Chains A and B, each alone.
Chain A
């Protein structure tokens, strides 16, 4: 009987050692239009990387995106992202191949999965790097492009030169081992 109990603890311990979490990852949306370039930044990226089960799950509360101008933030939330209805940008997927991590060196990785924003879900591929630091944490860097029209976010002609159709998303996060 005791062995049986220990067996379950063993399972959970093994799985957690391969599972990493963050609630304070960094996301950057770069909008590079002919007349105006600005960043929408959030440091509230939530993420999970599970290397044993090959699960990647990230989301960010889009209400936290900050472009540096309050009125622009409100227009972004109200007119474009419609955050009251669609508060999150999400990515759920897996690695093409589970990377082996080496402390101090960046391993190139490719993930495929579903990216969802503004209520529209699309299959995307994301390239990035993964590394392990001395504290046993996983450092992730990744980037991909988001075409606003793919996600039913129209840009009015009036602001066509100020808001880029193609948004460059970069992610930087340090994920701690799950306890």
Chain B
């Protein structure tokens, strides 16, 4: 009789299940996306990946200090540091980039690698990425009485680990341990640091205020120098394929090495206005189905 009950039960089971389908996600480990609006957040790189064969172009500017007041249009008269940055994704994980910053005319070659992404089900509680690169100062030093620095002496390097988490749809945070190395940090370079090696810890925060704009924060305390710490506060606006980022920051530096070695002004009076335009270009765009 027991067998019969069992048999009857299994016999009926398919009928009772057929009332409605069970809702199942195609990918149970769905990644958390748009932790930040763009691969840049104020000055720091983020964990935000690029799709395969897409290019990210960022134009970044920082101006003079605010303390000149209206006479200098709050620093806008005092010459901008401009960085052009092109990043191309070879695949979903790895991208290579080149940038040129007008401060000391530094060309940087760097790469970003995404180790894993935060998932919605929490199997990965955060996203982890790496970035590193090398730069060369191409300023003309022929006016110096002493011999100009050689190519090797003009080089600098950086490396960083990016650890980011979207805590809620509104709040994201990134921790960025970073280091920079200058082969020969000469006083003529536009940096305040005199050491070769720099260690710092970057904090990036994003607080979504509307669906398409966020308050952005940046704080980069130096760990091995007496230089002032970098602080930035800004506003990100997402507009289709563009992300506009406006901010106040204490440093004019835009590349990683100079962010760590360049020195910072005081918060407030010596804030500088900054402005980034981020644009994604899809080069290998899939055909419409």
Nearest Cβ on chain A to B259's Cβ, whole angstroms: 26
Decide yes or no whether A57 CB sits under 8 A from chain B. yes
Nearest Cβ on chain A to B248's Cβ, whole angstroms: 25
Q: Interface size of B by Cβ–Cβ distance < 8 Å?
A: 37
Q: Which 7 A-B pairs have CB atoms at the shortest separation, nearest pair first? A: A70-B51, A8-B11, A61-B26, A68-B286, A78-B34, A74-B33, A41-B289
Q: Which of A43-51, A95-103, A165-173 contacts B (4 or more CB under 8 A)?
A: A43-51
Q: Which of A120-128, A133-141, A144-152, A156-164 contacts B (4 or more CB under 8 A)?
A: A156-164
Contact at B289–A77, with CB atoms within 8 Å? no
Consensus secondary structure, chain A interface: mixed
Interface residues of A in 67-96 (CB under 8 A from B): 68-71, 74-75, 77-79, 82-85, 87-88, 90, 92
Interface residues of B in 79-109 (CB under 8 A from A): none
Contact at B4–A68, with CB atoms within 8 Å? no
**What mask results when residues 14 to 39 of chain A are scored 1 for a CB within 8 Å of chain B, else 0?**
01100101000000000000000011
Query: CA–CA, A165 to B113, complex, Å?
Result: 38
Query: CA–CA, A53 to B15, complex, Å?
Result: 10
Some 18 contacts from A to B, beta carbons below 8 A apart, are A12-B12, A12-B15, A15-B14, A39-B289, A48-B20, A57-B20, A61-B27, A63-B30, A66-B286, A68-B287, A68-B289, A69-B286, A70-B282, A74-B33, A82-B169, A84-B30, A87-B25, A156-B212
Contact at A5–B4, with CB atoms within 8 Å? yes
What residues of chain B have their CB less than 8 Å away from a CB belonging to chain A?
4, 7-8, 11-12, 14-15, 18-21, 23-27, 30, 32-34, 51, 54, 120, 169, 211-212, 238-241, 280, 282, 285-289
Across the interface, B7 reaches (CB within 8 A) one of A8, A75, A78, namely: A8
Count CB-based A-B contacts (< 8 Å). 108
CB neighbours (8 Å) of B23 from chain A are 59, 87-88, 90
CB neighbours (8 Å) of B241 from chain A are 71
CB neighbours (8 Å) of B280 from chain A are 71
Decide yes or no whether A55 CB sits under 8 A from chain B. yes
CB neighbours (8 Å) of B282 from chain A are 69-71
Q: Which residue in chain B gives the minimum CB-CB distance to A68?
A: B286
Q: Which residue in chain A gives the minimum CB-CB distance to B12?
A: A8
Query: CA–CA, A74 to B27, complex, Å?
Result: 15
Query: CA–CA, A91 to B110, complex, Å?
Result: 48
CB neighbours (8 Å) of A85 from chain B are 169
Contact at B19–A55, with CB atoms within 8 Å? yes
Q: Which residue in chain B gives the minimum CB-CB distance to A156?
A: B212
Q: Which residue in chain B gives the minimum CB-CB distance to A9?
A: B11
Across the interface, A162 reaches (CB within 8 A) one of B20, B25, B238, B240, namely: B240
Contact at A16–B14, with CB atoms within 8 Å? yes
Q: Which residue in chain B gives the minimum CB-CB distance to A4?
A: B4
